[in-house]
A and B are shown apart, each in its own frame.
Chain A
């Protein structure tokens, strides 16, 4: 069943590219149908893991036994990632039924979308280092071309910037894979963990060098602060559904999932690597939110806020304690939902008002109830207002900081949360304020077309998720979803036991 996660979207991309021209609605129907199927299968995988009391499902491609062949592995962590990837991409593809009408070639859009989805699913399920690289490239290449989808000058420039930085990252990752192979003579993650940790410590001189190379590569992919310069250009230039995909799940799958998998489960890394991740987290939290404060372009503001929330996730993971890891994973899931919801609302504003400049939005006396409602929910939950999901994960991260006696980090986390609230209060003020904010200028009552049904549907769906994902933290639900996922990371290189012996 595991190969279906890659096969279904690939097959769908293939079919859409052939038959997409036959009927105008073929791409819409087929892509959404595939997405529904994928959501169903990802929930089924989690259910199978739970009902059979397994810690991992493995599949040997081509029937070759474990250390020799390519292995696909799903444990609790990857199962959660699969659910969030497929759920968000389902809502996004429903949204693009109506939104992508204004572009000329919807068929090609769906083909690239499905390729990107199959790449991301592949990264999450593969238990083989080179396979991860290949799927990472599949997802990246399709995302480069999706950023350039509008083929206007800004889009092309952003795509070229993203392309150059992305290829540097991929080259560093490939180089480190070559070094790891020369050490371990194996590419299977579990097998590498077994071999590397059997070697005496003084023999593994290159480990730190390799880990630094990998961390730099994955940090470029996930836009952590010293390497973030592509993101604020690439995300606003892409079409809104693609910004939602990129910011919601792509940077997390390609960057954070792979990084955590490698630094926790494959290498026995020391305290200093965790310290590096922790400081990267703090720096990108602060820098992202401070730059976001003075942005007036709605999408650019959201992009900078993404950088700051990636910092939150890294801070939680870099603490290295079980509670910190749990908070990091939980914030990863929450932020995927919230940020894709906010990017979808930016798309709706652009669809109805034709602008995403906050000053111009405030000048129009628009009535877009559903979009406004979704904006409200998203803003409140990203800034951590209690009943919504963003609050719970931030709370866990702050508690974990205090528990491990890192009060400075806890203080920074609270400060960034307050600053995020002020950023989004600015957004709400421009969006909802009844009088024009520019003096001497009356609000124009313009006729705007309200957004179509499918766009409303996906925004409301994601908003509902935002409200109800807080229940993941209640004890009974937490014990079957989040705790096993963070356990797998916290158990370190015993991951090889999970894969080889399934316990």
Chain B
């Protein structure tokens, strides 16, 4: 069930990127998609009723969640942050040049 919700979140983000005309809405949709994937990654490592993955004296043999996805998600969050920053920077410059955020008006190129 949780996985389906996660997929729906991902599709909401993808829909936003593909359909929305406003540059800022595209950036927000990208952020939603990114969060959906990070959430999925965390869910992959989750076990019901398990504890945090740190060894403490006297608690060596308890069930733990998988720590590797958490480490990966940290990296992926940093990458997502830098992409969002680059997107916002380019959006600011685009607004300076074209005076609009509407991508149907930002079309000097043909391809």
Contacts and interface: CB of A to CB of B under 8 A. Distances in A.
B94 A178 contact: no
Interface hub of A156, A181, A300 (most chain B Cβ within 10 A): A156
Interface in A121-168: 130, 134, 137, 141, 144-145, 148, 151-154, 156-161, 163-164, 167-168
B86 A144 contact: yes
A137 B37 contact: no
A178 B46 CA distance: 13
Contacts of A164: 17, 26, 30, 87
A451 B111 CA distance: 30
Interface in B1-45: 10, 14, 17, 23, 26, 30, 33-34, 37, 40-41, 44
Nearest to B40: A178
A164 B106 CA distance: 14
B47 to A, nearest CB: 12
A160 B24 CA distance: 12
A159 B90 CA distance: 8
Contacts of A174: 37, 76
B106 A151 contact: no
Interface string A257-299: 0000000000000000000000000000000000000000000
A175 B40 CA distance: 8
Contacts of B69: 178, 181
Contact of A157 (B17, B33, B82, B109): B109
B90 A137 contact: no
Contacts of B94: 153, 156-157, 160
A229 interface: yes
Interface in B55-111: 66, 68-69, 72, 75-76, 79, 82-83, 86-87, 90-91, 93-94, 97-98, 106-111
Given A141-B83, A160-B91, A178-B41, A233 B109 contact: yes
Interface string A177-193: 01001100101000000
A151 B93 contact: yes
Contact of A130 (B34, B72, B109): B72
A141 B109 contact: no
Contact of B97 (A144, A153, A161, A187): A153
Given A174-B76, A175-B37, A178-B41, A156 B111 contact: no
A374 B83 CA distance: 38
Given A167-B83, A168-B14, A178-B44, A229 B111 contact: yes
Nearest to B92: A156
A316 interface: no
A364 to B, nearest CB: 25
A150 to B, nearest CB: 11
A134 B108 contact: no
A153 B94 CA distance: 7
Nearest to A182: B44
B83 A160 contact: no
A171 interface: yes
Contacts of A130: 72, 75
Contacts of B72: 130, 181
A268 to B, nearest CB: 23
A154 B90 contact: no
B111 A163 contact: no
Nearest to B66: A185
A230 B109 CA distance: 11
A181 B43 CA distance: 12
Interface string A15-56: 000000000000000000000000000000000000000000
Contact of A178 (B37, B75, B79): B37
A232 interface: yes
A144 B66 CA distance: 34
Given A156-B94, A157-B106, A157-B109, A163 B37 contact: no
Given A171-B33, A178-B37, A178-B40, A157 B86 contact: no
Contacts of B93: 148, 151, 156
A458 B67 CA distance: 49
B107 A168 contact: no
B97 A156 contact: yes
Contacts of B91: 160
Contacts of A185: 66
A185 B45 CA distance: 9
Given A164-B26, A178-B37, A233-B109, A141 B82 contact: yes
Contacts of A156: 90, 93-94, 97
Contacts of B66: 185
A182 B40 CA distance: 10
A148 B108 CA distance: 15
A134 B90 contact: no
Contacts of A153: 94, 97-98, 108
Nearest to B44: A182
A387 to B, nearest CB: 34
Q: 10 closest pairs, A vs B, by CB? A: A232-B111, A153-B97, A182-B44, A233-B111, A233-B109, A178-B41, A137-B79, A156-B93, A160-B90, A156-B94
27 contacts: A130-B75, A141-B82, A145-B86, A148-B90, A153-B94, A153-B97, A154-B108, A157-B94, A157-B106, A157-B108, A157-B109, A158-B109, A159-B90, A160-B91, A163-B87, A163-B90, A167-B30, A167-B83, A168-B17, A170-B79, A171-B34, A174-B76, A175-B40, A178-B40, A182-B44, A232-B111, A233-B110
Given A148-B93, A153-B94, A181-B68, 6 more contacts: A141-B83, A153-B97, A160-B106, A163-B86, A170-B79, A170-B83
